[in-house]
Chains A and B, each alone.
Chain A
């Protein structure tokens, strides 16, 4: 089964080829990049098919057995995440090509493929140190993508983003060192065995490591005390890149789910319940930060970025419960919020390309006001969690899973009030962007604002430009339409995730029940 490593190797080989051989020919680079991403999509569909049978597949690099060698692990969860990455990547790539974003700076496609390599690797690896390495791969590519096409604000926001993540990487290494000192292994399955054997009174150092790791993943997932990098980064990144970054926050959530369920999860005497206790209040605060941010934003891009923060809060509230039902809800919401955030960024890019800025002040109506208004409100409905799109079902599942007396008050209040504030924020933004604009006639334009009217916003967005954003919305509709089959798959996924003994037995190749 060499197919498991293909999502890592394919972009890794393609990226230098695009970067070195096709650097002067944008058409060739585009063709190669789209072909590669399409192939990645095909492979990831195949991998989901392989993983559906419920066995945990193992890929041993160099054929070394698990605790000694490096392994890639394919189960339902990692296959799902790779598929999600591939679909999102293709949508974003087509948008970037159709709108010409990829030609506004150099090496867009090479960095894009490196980013895909890092993300797929992070989803597939079965080793915490390799998780660190793949994090670095995806981060170093994201630094390049973040400052793609340059500009004053973007460079400064990019510098902040890099500094923040480098500090996060250092913390990751401290966590890994502590973990290795206390357990003597970094393989996730082996960690699960050692942690179970570790008596609770000797687990102090391991508890520190577990919380340090949680903080590191929380930086990626934009959890409350360490969420402040996200709005500035997403708001200043090129819009297609911000749309791709929608999956990067999910990498953090995935890492918490994977590592803290299997290594520090239920059944481990030293760390049982530890992560959830800290994660839950932080996630509630994240929802609040996101909701108030949406309400207070004066520009469109930060508004969407804050809605991403809010959705990460909702997702992590469900993750913090660490139970199969709540994880099912978290996974459904994760898939949904990835597409919702990406569609919003892509639509915002189309809207902003016909205006002078993304400020939420009424300006003369854009050319395709009706079309963009429809798209924007559809995506906003998805993000805010209103029926009929999948956001409603996602939030319903999350609420339904959080019925424990201890959490119901905080969780329901935060999610419901947060959703209300998000709806108000998006409605306000949408009416300023699309409805009030029609009141300003074009004839007032030269007198009202001088410089913008000199610029020409007559280029209508063609079908090719609108199609990727529409595809994202179609994914939301599809997710709602086929909620039954999707939920069945996700239910199997979360049951498999919580079968720690099964994971350990598959990775360490021991008999189950050892």
Chain B
């Protein structure tokens, strides 16, 4: 159980980090989605792993239970990361239609673009 959870977090994080270092916006968006999955599983595991237990404290103190707080945190994190991914897709699309390229880096030539026309004139 621990091994499965730990390795899935590791694999998702590794894949996510690799993808957000790509130059095009689509892999970067995918990478961020993978990273947010990884962090959701990680948050879930931060309340200790327990199988087949309810997140309710029994009135008899000896019964074990699973920590409900990380589950609430994960729910919040899922909602936020889902919304953020949607926003990112829209901004990515907007940037693609404006710039007609989905390259995510600003090249040196682009950065001096507004002054470039001046340079030839002066």
Residues from 279 to 299 in A contacting B, C-beta threshold 8 Å: 298-299
Contacting residue for A359 out of B42, B43, B115, CB 8 A? B115
Contact: A357 with B118, CB < 8 Å?
A: yes
* 8 A Cβ contacts from A130-181 to B: 133, 136, 140, 143, 147, 150-153, 155-160, 162-163, 166-167, 169-170, 173-174, 176-178, 180-181
Residues of B within 8 A of A166 (CB): 32, 36, 84, 88
**What is the CB-to-nearest-CB distance from A65 to chain B, in angstroms, rounded to a whole number?**
15
Query: Which A residues touch B117, using CB under 8 A?
Result: 449, 451
A448 within 8 A of B: yes
Contact of B43 among A153, A173, A358 (CB under 8 A): A173
Does B51 reach chain A (CB closer than 8 Å)?
no
| A448-B120 Cα distance, complex, nearest whole Å | 10
A328 within 8 Å of B by Cβ?
Answer: no
- Contact residues in A for B32 (Cβ distance below 8 Å): 163, 166-167, 170
Bound Cα distance from A151 to B32, whole angstroms? 25
Once A147-B91, A169-B84, A180-B69 are accepted as A-B contacts, the answer to whether A361 and B46 lie under 8 Å apart by CB is no
| Interface band, chain A | 35 or more
CB closest chain-B residue, reference A169: B84
Most chain-A Cβ atoms within 10 A of its Cβ — which of B25, B87, B111?
B111
Decide if B121 touches A448 in the complex (CB within 8 Å). yes
Query: Would B43 and A177 count as touching, CB distance under 8 A?
Result: yes
A358 touches B114 (CB 8 A): yes
Task: Report yes or no: A157 in contact with B99, Cβ–Cβ below 8 A.
Answer: no
Q: How far is the CB of A204 from chain B (nearest CB, A)?
A: 15
Interface residues on chain B, size class: 35 or more
Chain B residue, CB-CB nearest to A151: B98
A167 lies within 8 A of B20 (CB): yes
Q: List residues of B (1-55) whose CB comes within 8 Å of A's CBs.
A: 16, 20, 25, 28, 32, 35-36, 38-39, 42-43, 45-48
Say if the beta carbon of B73 comes within 8 Å of chain A: yes
Q: How far is the CB of B69 from chain A (nearest CB, A)?
A: 7
Q: Does A232 contact B (CB under 8 A)?
A: yes
Interface string of B66-105 (1 = CB under 8 A from A): 0001100100110011011001100110110011000011
Could you tell me if B20 and A152 are in contact, using CB atoms closer than 8 angstroms?
Answer: no
A129 at the interface (CB under 8 A from B): yes
Interfacial chain B residues near A298, Cβ < 8 Å: 112, 115
CB pair A155 B84 closer than 8 Å: no
> A129 contacts B98, CB within 8 Å?
no
Interface: B122 (CB within 8 A): yes
In the complex, the answer to whether B35 meets A170 with C-beta atoms within 8 Å is: yes
A173 and B77 in contact, given A163-B88, A180-B46, A451-B117 (Cβ under 8 angstroms): yes
Q: B115–A361 contact, CB under 8 A?
A: yes
Q: Are B46 and A177 within 8 A (Cβ)?
A: yes
Structural contact, A136 and B25, CB atoms closer than 8 A: no
Give chain A residues whose Cβ lies under 8 Å from the Cβ of B99. 152, 155-156
Whether B110 is near chain A, meaning CB under 8 Å from some CB there, is yes
On whether the beta carbons of B88 and A180 are closer than 8 Å, the reply is no
Q: Which residues of B contact A (CB under 8 A)?
A: 16, 20, 25, 28, 32, 35-36, 38-39, 42-43, 45-48, 69-70, 73, 76-77, 80-81, 83-84, 87-88, 91-92, 94-95, 98-99, 104-106, 110-115, 117-119, 121-122
Q: Write 22 A-B pairs (CB below 8 A) sorted by A numbering.
A: A133-B80, A140-B83, A147-B94, A156-B99, A158-B95, A159-B104, A162-B91, A163-B88, A163-B104, A166-B32, A167-B20, A169-B84, A177-B42, A177-B43, A177-B46, A181-B45, A186-B73, A299-B115, A357-B118, A449-B117, A449-B121, A450-B121
- Extra inter-chain contacts (16) besides given A133-B76, A170-B32, CB under 8 Å: A129-B73, A133-B80, A136-B84, A143-B91, A155-B94, A155-B99, A157-B106, A160-B106, A163-B88, A163-B104, A176-B73, A180-B70, A181-B46, A357-B114, A359-B118, A449-B117
Q: Which 10 A-B pairs have the closest CB atoms?
A: A359-B115, A177-B46, A155-B95, A181-B46, A357-B114, A173-B39, A155-B98, A159-B95, A449-B121, A177-B43
